Amino acid sequence: MELLLKQNVEHLGRIGDVVKVKSGYARNYLLPRGFAVSVTKANVAGIERARSLALAEETQRIASMKEFAQKIAEASVTIEGRANAEGHLFGSVTGAHIAASLREKGVQVEDKQVRLANPIKEIGVYDVIVHLHVSVEATVKVWVVQQKPA
């Protein structure tokens, strides 16, 4: 079944794309939720207008995300942790810890936006990627230091 997308649908397509999907997926998910409509000349014309508005909005959003990425790149985070003499942490520093530290500094990011391949388990300085948009990422310096004894 061919449908015209009215909204961006993850793993399927963007506004205005003509997609071929199974009829059950169309009847039970896309059509009832208003994500897609049948392919007609009137629908195509209406979606093209919506697509141009969405593209303008998206470019404006990307520009604001790039400004925000500059703000993030200027920030650095220091996280204290208990470690042994060799510098191995008792525990680890995760993306959630880094996001919380950024929020304390006034940079509003969500935990899932901080991308770490593996949790940080040693003292040192790390460059961590903050994923803001498909085309916008920022790098923040994370300093992991020995916690001062109380």
Question: Would you say 118 and 95 are in contact if contact means Cβ atoms under 8 Å apart?
Answer: no
In a domain, 70, yes or no: no
Average pLDDT over residues 40-45: 87
In a domain, 31, yes or no: yes
Please tell me whether residues 86 and 136 are part of one structural domain. Answer: yes
DSSP 113: G
Residue 150 has pLDDT above 80, yes or no: no
Please tell me whether residues 91 and 140 are part of one structural domain. Answer: yes
The H or E element spanning position 43 is helix 41-74
Residue 28 has pLDDT above 90, yes or no: yes
The H or E element spanning position 130 is strand 124-133
Domain final residue, candidates 12, 34, 61:
61
Question: Would you say 105 and 75 are in contact if contact means Cβ atoms under 8 Å apart?
Answer: yes
In a domain, 85, yes or no: yes
Please tell me whether residues 55 and 79 are part of one structural domain. Answer: no
Assign residue 137 the CATH number of its domain. 3.10.430.100
- Using DSSP's 3-state secondary structure scheme, residue 90 falls into strand
For the chain, the average pLDDT equals: 89
Average pLDDT over residues 38-60: 86
Q: Give the count of domains, the chain.
A: 2
pLDDT (0 to 100) of residue 55:
85
Rounded Cα distance, 57 and 33, in Å: 22
